[in-house]
Structure 1
Amino acid sequence: MNTVLAIRQYVDKMIQNSGPGMKILLMDAKTTGVISMVYSQSEIMQKEVYLCDRLDNFKNREPLRHLKCLTFLRPTEENINLLSQELRAPLYGSYFLHWSNVISKSDVKRLAEADEQEVVREIVEYFADYIPINPHTFISNIPHGPIFTEVDLIDDKTAQNIALALMSYVLSVKKAPLIRFTEWSLPCQKIADKFSNLMNKESNLFDFSQRQGKPVLLILDRRDDCVTPLLNQWTYQAMVHELLTIKNHRVSLADAPDIPKDFKEVVLSPENDRFFAENLYADFGSVGQSLRALVERFQETAKSHQKVESIDDMKNFIENYPHFKQMSGTVSKHVAVVGELARLNEKYHLLEVSELEQDIACHANHSQNLQRLKQLISNSKIRDVDALRLVLLYALKYEAHSNNDIMGLVTKLKARGISEENISLVKALLKFGGVKKRKSDLFGSDPVAQTKRFIKGLQGVENIYTQHVPWMKSIIEDLLKGKAKDQLPYFNASSGRMGSGSAPVDPTFRPSEIIVFVIGGITYEEALAIHNINRAENRLCVVLGGTSMQNMKSFLEEIRSSKSKKIDPRAV
């Protein structure tokens, strides 16, 4: 189930199966992103990979006939054409071809016909068409078109591409899951259907034993929970993505003041950065304390290197210098990142904003929330985007409240000078994931949920800024306990039949493992919730995937696109 380990093992097999000797690794834009998430350039070079390059860089690559060439590519028409062209005039002595998903027999035939000099030694399908974020988190690596539209349809190509990405993951971890999905969601239904058809079509690929019982693939719709992507975050990884954005482990600090040139872009990878790995899910205050301790350790190490008086001192310095240099880089990098987060927090008064966000999301205090919200909207010190964020949360929470003042809040946003385009997102959000669209009990209105919330309130919370719990957490916990929700129907993947024609739901069925995939993207707060479930179970039993990794900015873009995207009915 470990996403990072699965990709690393594929890369290791590619290199080992080609035998000893120096190699070049050719990739495309997408597979470059996959490998960069699990291996650094220096680590790859230690495995006899002399050079990493792009397949489409043919004109700038020199002939090196003494090298073996490993390719790791997506089986696209463009890549087949480029590789066929290269095989007709090979630059390297031998080629080992690896594909990130299923390649058709016709494409294999085309490559064989192009291999006139018989340089191809191997063709292998390695199912790695997804981006591993954390060991229990991944996003699809296949380009897709609009998922949500005004008519709630999804085109065949987009659905097929998402299903292919899902198949890639389950094959990489050798799972043949049962499928459950959000019944009301047409995109979920269609992707579940496509995925089932792929399992049937490629049934020979799923011919492996299930040692721990039958896992479940749970396909959810982002529109059932529009609250989570709107919230400010206060754990390290999530906070960095919300305020600075993480893309393939890279974070831009180009807009931060007084940042050294070397730190305009930094890499935050839990695989290669021990401090980041240890503080992924720590709250911001704890990260600051841990960073202070790291700085103090570095200062002590630096002092010990100042005294180089004897031959032994010189030896010790040379031996420890790589570690010292690495520690120096780690300290400088995290001081820069944490410093920028602290600056933004203070500049935009995010603690005050976040406190109200959490109160709106987690408690039923309408009149109090409305009064505080009006005060904050009138406060010129908070960002326009945070004023909009708060109104969006209020609209979601109190859309059906008899005394809601959504229109009054919209008027206040206009008075702040917020653009009509952004103000229109209030109405668009309610159309996208409001009470008429979602079927989830997002705010816990049923008596059981209200009782749980009341008990939690009596017990108090450890941190008022992290009170919110993503909606999916309770769904997953119920599945693990054999208390499946009725709104998540069973889909018999082996027969390819859905709905009432499929096998009945066994309410006591307890899956050994769960793969959750969210159409419309996932968040780092949800990744934290899954991490906590796995920690409570003392094993990696739940993995979270999605079509993208969302923060508020990207989520609002999704809503904007859903307003304007229309699909030709003939394409669905």
Structure 2
Amino acid sequence: MSVLTAIKLYINKMIDNCGKGMKVFLLGKDTLPLVSITYAQSDLLKKEVYLFERIDNSARESMKHMRCIVFLRPTPENIQHLCAELKNPRYGNYHIFFSNIIAKPDILKLANADEHECVKEIQEFYADYIPLLDHVYNLNIKKISSAVSTSWDRSCLKRSADSLISVLLALRKYPVMRFSAKSELARNLVNSTYDIMKEHSHLFEFRRSDTPLLLVLDRRDDPITPLLNQWTYQAMVHELLGIENNRVDLSEVPGISKDMREVIMSPEQDSFFKDSLYSDFGEIGIKIKDLVDKFQKQQHSTAAIESITDMKKFVDNYPQFKKFSGTVSKHVAIVGELSRIVQDYNLLEVSETEQQMTTQASHSEVQQKISSLLRNPKVREMEIIRLVLLYCICYEGQSGHNPRQFIEAMRNRGISEAKCKLATSIMNYGGKAVRGGQLFGEETKIAMTKKYFKGLQGVENIYTQHKPYMIDILQQLQLGRLKETDFPWHGGSPQRIGEIIVFVVGGITYEEIKSVHEWNISNPGNKVVLGSTCVHNCRSFLEAVSSH
């Protein structure tokens, strides 16, 4: 059940169907990042794909000697562009693949536009999502509703439902569904997805070996996880630097060279990154040292060129050596910048206090620590906002809960009024009155004490002891204890659940991605594919919260 493998198989089939010869990929704004994330350009060159073009680029040259692979979402805009293309074809022939279900009237439009009879085939290949890892995909939709509404933006709802249909068809799954009861967003998405499945029921007539579950959650049910600092490699890079379609912008890093201002961080194209995704910060330092040592040995060995045979061997290995050199430089630069940020902004002490709040440690002790950190000039604005918002959520309703003192301290630090209002916005977004489920379980003093000590026992790293609420939901589901009042069924309730497709409305985090990876290793019978509208770091999450 790999969303990444499904995309690769589709792309391979597109290329194979096109036959031998020079090829151009004609893509849309949605399918271009999909292809670039899935395949390195060098790998596609080996398959005779020499050119990548956007369908909306009207300045493209005519190249009749090239075969054209068209890969688009079946949107009205793309259909219009493609009709114009077929009326005035720039390439020898066209193999057209849509990433989702295409309406019959649109096929008729294309047939009428194909006056030169250059279309060889039209197929639906269900790849309407951006794969990040084998078990993770997203849609790159940061905002799903308007600033004055908690309801779906209609185009975002359609996009999300279409994507879920695509994932189900790509994985050949016909699921039953559950959703977060308090979330209008989750309910509407499940209804829309079910309606499409019912309308196109013939597409789901494949052999069903098990009963998968589609579980639709809402980011509001766990507003804590996106607020925390992260301490595993992939999560840290996204949190402190930002990852967008596997690209990391290093242009603001002090002293960075020109060729390192933007780097690719792809597990498919970088074996070191793939092996280090979930390593904690301490482990990464050791791994980087080992990588540098290995490079130095290789560099020394390639310097010993004493014969024609040595020279030929060096030239043959040069592309791999150059790639290795680039890998070392990239990761040394990134880890160096992460280390600088951690040290300069006192992130270790901040993170320790964050983790204490997630276990609802002593209220008075946490208040003192937050007050001290808010006065510390090394603690930057972002961390101050995190601490105050976490306090608002974690201690809501407890005796002595008083965020006003911290909001006033924010103002004294010169933080803008708009950012001070985030303390109110976070409660409107994910406070007790809004969120579904039980983020902190039964909030009695005894239960909180048990939870605190449970968090301390056997924890190797105090900075990563927090576990996302999503994992608690999966555990309750596996044990048959997930309350129907909190997560009702839609479309049946089987006795035994097999594989699970989780979709989170409003964004996931790399901490949750890591936790699901660990879940899949421990629970091979209930493997999870995780999808969402986007992947948040704290900055993008706060942008979403600020509209509430």
Report TM bin, short chain.
Answer: over 0.9
2:333 to 333, 336, 353: 336
Give, in whole Å, the separation in 2 of the partners of 1:369 and 1:457: 16
Maintained 8 Å contact 2:355/2:466: yes
Matches within 5 A, 1:484-495: 484-493=482-491
Counterpart of 2:528 in structure 1 is 542
Q: Flag the 1:57–1:148 CA change in 2: closer, same or farther, 3 A.
A: closer
Paired amino acid for 1:215: P
Give, in whole Å, the separation in 1 of the partners of 2:437 and 2:525: 28
Q: Flag the 1:401–1:454 CA change in 2: closer, same or farther, 3 A.
A: closer
What's the TM-score, normalizing by structure 1?
A: 0.92
Maintained 8 Å contact 2:498/2:526: no
Per mean C-alpha deviation after superposition, the further-off stretch among 294-303 and 157-166 is 157-166
Counterpart of 1:172 in structure 2 is 170
**Displacement after TM superposition at 1:21 (Å):** 1.5
Maintained 8 Å contact 1:23/1:50: yes
**Displacement after TM superposition at 1:510 (Å):** 3.0
Cα deviation 1:458-494 (Å, max 9, x = unaligned)? 623110000110001011122233333333444444x
2:505 to 519, 528, 532: 519
Paired amino acid for 1:15: I
Counterpart of 1:308 in structure 2 is 305
Give, in whole Å, the separation in 1 of the partners of 2:200 and 2:450: 45
Counterpart of 2:428 in structure 1 is 431
% identical equivalent positions? 46
Give, in whole Å, the separation in 2 of the partners of 1:332 and 1:540: 39
What's the TM-score, normalizing by structure 2?
A: 0.96
Q: Flag the 1:44–1:244 CA change in 2: closer, same or farther, 3 A.
A: same
1:371 to 357, 368, 371: 368
Instruction: For residue 58 of structure 1, give the secondary structure of its aligned residue in structure 2.
Output: coil
Q: Flag the 1:276–1:555 CA change in 2: closer, same or farther, 3 A.
A: same
Instruction: For residue 466 of structure 1, give the secondary structure of its aligned residue in structure 2.
Output: coil
Paired amino acid for 1:167: I
Give, in whole Å, the separation in 2 of the partners of 1:473 and 1:174: 25
Instruction: For residue 29 of structure 1, give the secondary structure of its aligned residue in structure 2.
Output: coil
Unaligned runs of 5+ in 2: none
Does residue 551 (structure 1) correspond to residue 544 (structure 2)? The answer is no
Does residue 162 (structure 1) correspond to residue 160 (structure 2)? The answer is yes
Matches within 5 A, 1:11-410: 11-59=11-59, 61-140=60-139, 146-147=144-145, 152-211=150-209, 213-410=210-407
Maintained 8 Å contact 1:179/1:218: yes
Cα deviation 1:9-61 (Å, max 9, x = unaligned)? 110010001111111110011100111111011111111112111111232x2
**Displacement after TM superposition at 1:161 (Å):** 2.2
Paired amino acid for 1:128: A
Give, in whole Å, the separation in 1 of the partners of 2:454 and 2:109: 63
Instruction: For residue 365 of structure 2, give the secondary structure of its aligned residue in structure 1.
Output: helix
**Displacement after TM superposition at 1:401 (Å):** 1.1
Maintained 8 Å contact 1:236/1:282: yes
Instruction: For residue 57 of structure 2, give the secondary structure of its aligned residue in structure 1.
Output: helix
Maintained 8 Å contact 1:357/1:390: yes
Give, in whole Å, the separation in 2 of the partners of 1:403 and 1:5: 52
**Displacement after TM superposition at 1:319 (Å):** 2.3
Cα deviation 1:216-270 (Å, max 9, x = unaligned)? 0000011110000000000000000001110000000000011111100000000
Give, in whole Å, the separation in 2 of the partners of 1:376 and 1:85: 60
Give, in whole Å, the separation in 1 of the partners of 2:402 and 2:489: 42
**Displacement after TM superposition at 1:81 (Å):** 1.1
- Let me know the Cα RMSD of the aligned residues: 1.8
Per mean C-alpha deviation after superposition, the further-off stretch among 336-345 and 472-481 is 472-481
Give, in whole Å, the separation in 2 of the partners of 1:492 and 1:28: 34
Paired amino acid for 2:382: V
Does residue 414 (structure 1) correspond to residue 411 (structure 2)? The answer is yes
Give, in whole Å, the separation in 1 of the partners of 2:318 and 2:142: 47
Give, in whole Å, the separation in 2 of the partners of 1:528 and 1:536: 13
Instruction: For residue 38 of structure 2, give the secondary structure of its aligned residue in structure 1.
Output: coil
Maintained 8 Å contact 2:142/2:506: no
Give, in whole Å, the separation in 1 of the partners of 2:142 and 2:363: 40
Give, in whole Å, the separation in 2 of the partners of 1:557 and 1:26: 34
**Displacement after TM superposition at 1:63 (Å):** 1.7
Q: Flag the 1:405–1:470 CA change in 2: closer, same or farther, 3 A.
A: same
Cα deviation 1:308-364 (Å, max 9, x = unaligned)? 112222222122222211111100010011111111111111111101111111232
